[in-house]
């Protein structure tokens, strides 16, 4: 019954007529299961040798390629109070369109004629600058005149000194002549007196000689006095020359000091004029900031400051906008282990939130609903809390266009495509936790011949 003997009797017995043999034999379902089992094993073996595209999968979100195309907020340049809104949320505005109007809240800017009055101050200061310039010019002329007058006075006194010297010379000769006359008169008187005693000369002649002595003595004294007067006049002329030099030196020093003081005041006034001009320009420019305008064509997404009469600070955001024209991109985040495998220009398959897709990561050609992109930028530092690197992907112009309804901020699932390998290799790599093709790339790099540097450089 067990059919374990080498001498089988199944061929001699009609088993189909016996119910016991029919109940013990294998059913067709068991035979079919065996065939399916072998077929499945064969399919798995064949499947292991099919090509598989290695990939790096990561989450991402839609952004824009250019920084000026990303959502942004418009800030108030000055502090003010909201007086009027010209737009509503969701409205399309063109570049330069007015969004809202602010009024002044600072006391120093309340004057409606602030700019005009500041310009008047500028004109007054400019007039002061001209006046100081004229005063400095007048002082310069005064200094020139004083110098010319000093030259004339110096020449005049030098001539007077020369005249005094000549007068002293003539007075000296006259004094010597008077002294000689006096001495001759004395000798003549002495001879006449001697002859009178001898009886040769009369007394009258002696008295005449005595009178002559007195006359010559008087002339001698007068001549010496005149010489002394001439000497004193010469000394006075020399002293007067020194006094003139001192007086005109004082006048020139004072005039020069006044001129430099005037120039200093002129330069100080010019500096104040420039400050007032800057202030006036700032006041004029400030009036332009009362109207907040759109920096580019955009949609008003949200009004951050609400209502009328609300005050805003300097640099505070008042409204957020989204540019109407933008170039889409996807930013994905990869782990440090996968970063060395990425290069600029790598192909990336992207699945966007809201667009149905059938994705086979290893067979991108049979996937449906995905879009193609190219890696255009890779960060050199970790930019997320999850210790991942940011990678920027732009649309691939050679493939189908990305959906028009995409907006920055929506989610995306990015699959970076690498090399093609057999499925069994990919399963083995995944079980061992190896990065995709990391060792394969090392082997390829080792095969590349390296050039040696020359021993001596050519001059």
DSSP state of 401: P
* Rounded CA separation 176/220 (Å): 8
pLDDT 10s digits, 241-272: 888 888 988 999 999 999 999 999 999 999 99
Same domain, 331 and 212: no
Residue 393 is assigned to a structural domain of this protein: yes
111-118 long-range contacts (CB < 8 A, ≥24 apart) are 114/283, 115/280, 115/283, 115/284, 115/287, 118/276, 118/279, 118/280, 118/283
Q: How far apart are CA 142 and CA 291, in angstroms?
A: 57
**Is residue 388 included in any domain, yes or no?**
yes
Same domain assignment for residues 315 and 360: no
CA 104 to chain centre: 30
CATH of the domain at 349: 2.40.30.170
Residue predicted with more confidence, 268 or 9: 268
25, 169: one domain: no
Residue 402 inside a domain? The answer is yes
342 and 309: one domain?
no
Report the mean per-residue pLDDT for the chain.
80
DSSP H helices, 359-456, are 423-432, 438-447
How does pLDDT run across 319-377, given as a tens digit for each residue?
A: 999 888 888 888 888 888 777 777 888 888 888 887 766 655 555 555 556 788 888 88
Least confident window among 4-8, 256-260, 315-319, 404-408? 4-8
Residues 87 and 176 in one domain: no
Sign for the CA dihedral angle at 429, 434, 437, 439 comes to: negative
We report the CATH number of the domain holding residue 314 as 2.40.50.100
Is there a single domain that holds both residue 234 and residue 301?
Answer: no
CB 297 within 8 A of CB 93: yes
User: What total of structural domains would you count in the chain?
Assistant: 4
- Is residue 448 one of the residues assigned to a domain? no
Domain co-membership, 369 together with 394:
yes
> Which of these ranges, 90-104, 272-286, 383-397, has the smallest mean pLDDT?
383-397
Does any domain span residue 151?
yes
Same domain, 262 and 346: no
Task: Determine whether 18 is exposed, middle or buried from the number of CB atoms within 10 Å of its CB (0-12, 13-18, 19+).
Answer: exposed
Q: pLDDT tens digits, residue range 50-84?
A: 776 666 777 888 888 888 888 899 999 889 999 99
- pLDDT given for residue 3 in this prediction: 57
d(CA 217, CA 211): 10
> In terms of domains, do 39 and 143 share one?
no
Which residue in 292, 309, 325, 307 sits closest to 64, CA to CA?
A: 325
Give residue 16's pLDDT band: very low, low, confident or very high (50, 70, 90).
low
Domain that residue 13 falls in: 1-48
Answer yes or no: is 267 within a domain: yes
Q: Are residues 131 and 239 in the same domain?
A: yes
Residue 364 pLDDT: 56
Nearest to 416 by CA among 387, 446, 383, 376: 376
Tens digits of residue pLDDT in 183-207: 888 888 888 888 887 777 777 887 8
Residues 257 and 396 in one domain: no
| The pLDDT of residue 13 | 62
Based on the number of CB atoms within 10 Å of its own CB, is 248 exposed (0-12), middle (13-18) or buried (19 or more)? Answer: middle
In this structure, are 44 and 192 located in the same domain? no
* Residue 187 within any structural domain of the chain: yes
Asked if residue 455 belongs to a domain, the reply is no
Condensed to tens digits (0 to 9), the pLDDT of residues 173-182 reads 888 888 888 8
In this structure, the dihedral spanned by the alpha carbons of residues 372, 374, 378 and 382, taken in order and rounded to 10 degrees, is: 0
Please report the pLDDT score of residue 271 as a whole number: 92
């Amino acid at each position: 019954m067990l059919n374990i003997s080498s001498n089988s009797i199944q061929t001699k017995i009609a088993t189909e007529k016996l119910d016991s043999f029919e109940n013990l034999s294998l059913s067709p379902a068991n035979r079919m299961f065996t065939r399916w089992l072998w077929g499945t094993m064969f399919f798995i073996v064949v499947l292991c040798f099919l090509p598989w595209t290695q990939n790096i999968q990561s989450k991402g979100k839609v952004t824009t390629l250019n920084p000026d195309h990303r959502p942004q907020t418009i800030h108030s340049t000055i502090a003010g109070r909201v007086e009027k809104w010209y737009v509503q949320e969701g409205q399309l505005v063109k570049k330069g369109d007015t969004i809202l109007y602010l009024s002044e809240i600072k006391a120093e800017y309340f004057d409606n004629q602030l700019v005009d009055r500041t310009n008047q101050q500028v004109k007054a200061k400019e007039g002061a600058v001209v006046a100081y310039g004229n005063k400095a010019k007048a002082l310069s002329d005064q200094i020139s005149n004083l110098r010319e007058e000093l030259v004339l006075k110096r020449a005049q006194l030098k001539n007077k000194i020369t005249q005094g010297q000549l007068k002293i010379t003539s007075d000296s000769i006259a004094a010597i002549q008077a002294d000689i006359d006096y001495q001759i008169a004395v000798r003549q008187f002495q001879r006449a007196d001697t002859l009178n005693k001898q009886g040769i000369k009369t007394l009258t002649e002696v008295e005449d000689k005595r009178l002559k002595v007195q006359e010559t003595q008087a002339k001698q004294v007068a001549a010496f006095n005149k010489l002394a007067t001439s000497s004193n006049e010469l000394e006075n002329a020399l002293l007067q020359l020194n006094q003139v030099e001192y007086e005109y030196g004082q006048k020139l020093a004072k005039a020069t000091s006044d001129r430099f003081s005037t120039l200093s005041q002129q330069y100080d006034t010019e500096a104040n004029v420039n400050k007032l001009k800057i202030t006036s320009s700032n006041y004029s420019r400030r009036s332009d900031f009362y109207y907040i305008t759109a920096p580019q064509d955009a949609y008003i997404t949200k009004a951050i400051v609400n209502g009328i009469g609300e005050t805003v600070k300097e640099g505070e955001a008042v409204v957020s906008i989204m540019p109407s024209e933008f170039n889409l991109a996807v930013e994905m985040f990869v782990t440090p282990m996968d970063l060395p495998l990425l290069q600029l220009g790598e192909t990336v398959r992207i699945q966007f939130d809201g667009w149905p897709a059938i994705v086979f990561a290893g067979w991108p050609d049979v996937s449906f609903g995905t879009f193609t992109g190219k890696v255009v930028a890779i960060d050199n530092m970790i930019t997320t809390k999850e210790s991942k690197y940011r990678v920027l992907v732009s649309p691939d112009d050679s493939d189908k266009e990305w959906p028009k309804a995409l907006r920055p901020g929506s989610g995306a699932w990015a699959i970076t495509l690498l090399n093609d390998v057999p499925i069994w290799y990919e399963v083995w790599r995944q079980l061992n936790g190896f990065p995709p093709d990391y060792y394969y790339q090392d082997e390829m790099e080792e095969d590349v011949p390296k050039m040696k540097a020359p021993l001596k450089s050519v001059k």
